[in-house]
Structure 1
Amino acid sequence: MGKYLIRRLLQVIPVLFIISFVVFCLVFVAGDPVALMLPEDASQEDIEQLRESLGLNEPFHIQYFTYMVGLVQLDFGDSFRYNQSALPIVLERLPATLELAAAAMIIAIIIAIPFGIWSATKKNSPVDFLATGGSVLWKAMPNFWLGIMLILLFSVTLGWFPVSGRGTLSHLVLPAITLGTGIAAEMTRLIRSSMLEILNQDYIRTAKSKGIRNFFVVNKHAFRNALIPVVTITALQTSTLVGGTLVTETVFSWPGLGQLLIQAVNTRDMAIVQASVFVIAFIVILMNLLADILYKILDPRIKY
């Protein structure tokens, strides 16, 4: 286990290197941010002077080398919009995004586990068709449309929840539901298919023949063994959660990393873009590593 963790941690380095290279290339070809940093009546001399001070007049390989030297020191440069180092700004917004993502995942689990188990134990019944049909419907709904509909119904019409912002628990409800329902739909279908496979195993039939109550057979024996793919999809959904916050945070004006990244892209604040993508990539890699550790906890037979 220890050797495996060391190997996985060492694999993080080339992955982050590749991600940083791709992000830098995309930023390099995205355009010149100097045009947004200076007023429209700025002279060509002012433009060239600012470009030289930022190192943007250097060739690609020189700019990339400078970028990598800063990256090793966790220095992504200064944000021209906020006039300070980019990484502290990103880390300041990160707790809001993690709060929203955690709430969305809790909602997804609360919805998906009972509906997935119920659908599997009632195969081909009206309950099964309702759960599978509902999961397809919720998965097909775009986040921004669902968020707007929730705002119109529960905020504008009924006045139950705030329209936007962050502060109290009531501010968290609508964006968490918007983000969590799509993930719940996918998890419900996976739990159903995994449970159906487990329920047909010999040891489940043996447990039933011994007179063990169906509730304990399903929830103690079957569901525990069905958790492996659920853990996998939960870890993989981390990237979906973080990516989904880009839209959800914009719709609800949630002051998180997603909203910051959208604003940075619109204003070509490349230091913020690079720092945000790096932090998001690190979180996704960390969650995948955590999923591998949970495999061993759930099933000690798994060997690394």
Structure 2
Amino acid sequence: MARYIVKSLLQMIPVLLLISLIVFILVRVTGDPVALMLPESASEADRVALTAALGLDKPLLVQYGIFLADALQGDFGTSFHYGQSSLPLVLERLPASFELAAAAMALAVLLAVPLGILSAVKRNTVLDLLISGVSVIGKAMPNFWMGIMLILLFSVYLGYFPVSGRGGFDHLILPAVTLGVGLAAQMTRLIRSSMLEILSQDYIRTARSKGLSELVVVGSHAFRNGLIPVVTILTLQFTSLIGGTLITETVFAWPGLGQLLVTSVNNHDMAIVQAAVFVIAIIVILGNLLTDIVYRLLDPRIKYS
């Protein structure tokens, strides 16, 4: 297992190199950074001086080498919008995104696990059809629409929760519900499918024939063996929530990485975009590695060569 972890960490190097090349190319094709940074009244001498200062007068291959060398030192450039190094700005926003993602994930698990198990145990009953129908509706609702509806109902009309911002626990509820409901709907369907497959296995029938209670059969024998696909979707969704909550963070003015990315793209502040892409890539890669480790803990039969 230790050898597999080391091998996976080493495989991060070519992946990050490829990401660095993609980011470098995308930044160069989005527009002239000099024109974006200088005011319209700037002289030609100012443009030439800034071009030389940024190293944009050198060949592209040399520029990429400089960019890569700086990136290895954690230097992705200076944000011209905020006037400071981009990586600390990105890392400063990460805790807010982690907080929102963790809250949404906790809500999704609390809803999806009991509903998914209940739907599988009560297969083809009215309760199963009701849970499945609600899951489809929950998955079909766009996050931005649901967020706006929650703000109108619970903030504007009822005044129960703040409209936007990050502060106490009450600020977290609406954005967490907005993200968590759709995720819970997806997980409920996945848990139901996984549990149905497990409940049809011979060892489950054997456990029931021994006189074990349904709670023990479902909880101890079936649910644990059906966790692997659930762990997969949990890990993938959590890593995507870190950098993919652009719309929700924008709707609720949540000061996370998603909102920073939206603002930076609108401002053409590519130094922050570069740093954010790298940070998100590392989180996704480490998340996938963590998934493999959890697989091994859940099922000792899984071996990694």
> Same fold, TM exceeding 0.5?
yes
Q: Which residue of 2 aligns with 1:26?
A: 26
Quote how far apart the aligned CAs of 1:240 are: 2.9
Mark the runs of 5 or more structure 2 residues left unpaired by the alignment.
Answer: none
In structure 2, C-alpha distance between the alignment counterparts of 1:97 and 1:126, rounded to whole Å? 38
TM-score by length of 1: 0.97
Structure-2 residue corresponding to 1:175:
175
Contact 1:250–1:259 (CA<8 Å) still a contact in 2? yes
The TM-score normalised by the length of structure 2 is 0.96
In 2: Cα distance, 1:184 partner to 1:106 partner:
10
Give per-residue Cα distances to partners, 1:162-195, cap 9 Å, x unaligned. 0000010000001111111111111111100000
1:79 aligned residue:
79
**Structure 1 segments unaligned to the other structure (5+ residues):** none
- Counterpart residue number, 1:303: 303
What is the correspondence of 1:201-220 to structure 2 with a 5 Å cutoff? 201-220=201-220
Structure 1 runs of 4+ with >3 Å offset: none
TM superposition shift of 1:46: 2.1
Alignment of 1:179-258 (within 5 A): 179-258=179-258
Match of 1:133 in 2: 133
Separation in structure 2 between the aligned mates of residue 55 and residue 127 of structure 1, nearest angstrom: 65
In structure 2, the CA distance between the partners of 1:143 and 1:243, relative to structure 1 (3 Å rule), is farther
Could you give the per-residue CA deviations for residues 115-166 of structure 1, whole angstroms, max 9, x where no partner exists? 1101101111121112222222111211111111110111101111000000
Q: Which residue of 2 aligns with 1:281?
A: 281
Q: Quote the sequence identity (%).
A: 66
RMSD of aligned C-alpha atoms?
1.2
Alpha-carbon offset, residue 40 of structure 1: 2.2
Kept in 1, the 8 Å contact 2:239–2:287? The answer is: no
> Could you give the per-residue CA deviations for residues 224-251 of structure 1, whole angstroms, max 9, x where no partner exists?
0000111111111134312431111111
Tell me how far apart the structure 2 counterparts of residues 85 and 50 of structure 1 sit (CA, whole Å).
17
Shift of residue 48 of structure 1? Answer: 2.8
- Cα deviation, 1:3-53, whole Å, max 9, x if unaligned, reads 111111111111111112111211111111322322222233322322221
Residue type at the aligned position of 1:99: E
Query: How far apart in 2 are the matches of 1:61 and 1:38?
Result: 25
Change (3 A) 1:68 1:256: same
- 1:47-69 per-residue CA deviation (whole Å, 9 max, x = no partner) reads 23222211223332122111101
In the alignment, residue 136 of structure 2 is paired with which amino acid? V
Letter in 1 for 2:109: I
Contact 1:113 1:191 in 2 (8 A): yes
The residue identity in structure 2 corresponding to 1:158 is L
Q: Using the TM superposition, give the Cα deviation of residue 299 of structure 1 relative to its aligned residue in structure 2, in angstroms.
A: 0.8
More divergent stretch after superposition (11-20 vs 165-174): 11-20
In the aligned structure 2, how far is the partner of 1:80 from the partner of 1:302?
A: 49
CA distance in structure 1 between the aligned counterparts of 2:57 and 2:132, rounded to whole angstroms:
56
Aligned to 1:92: 92
Whichever residue aligns with residue 42 of structure 2, its letter is: A
Summarize the alignment of residues 35-114 of structure 1 with structure 2, pairs less than 5 Å apart. 35-114=35-114
The question of whether the paired residues in 2 share the 8 Å contact of 1:179 and 1:244 is answered with no
Give the residue type in structure 2 aligned to 1:16. L
Structure 1 stretch displaced more, 33-42 or 254-263 = 33-42
- Paired with 2:266 and 2:57, the residues of 1 have a C-alpha distance of 22
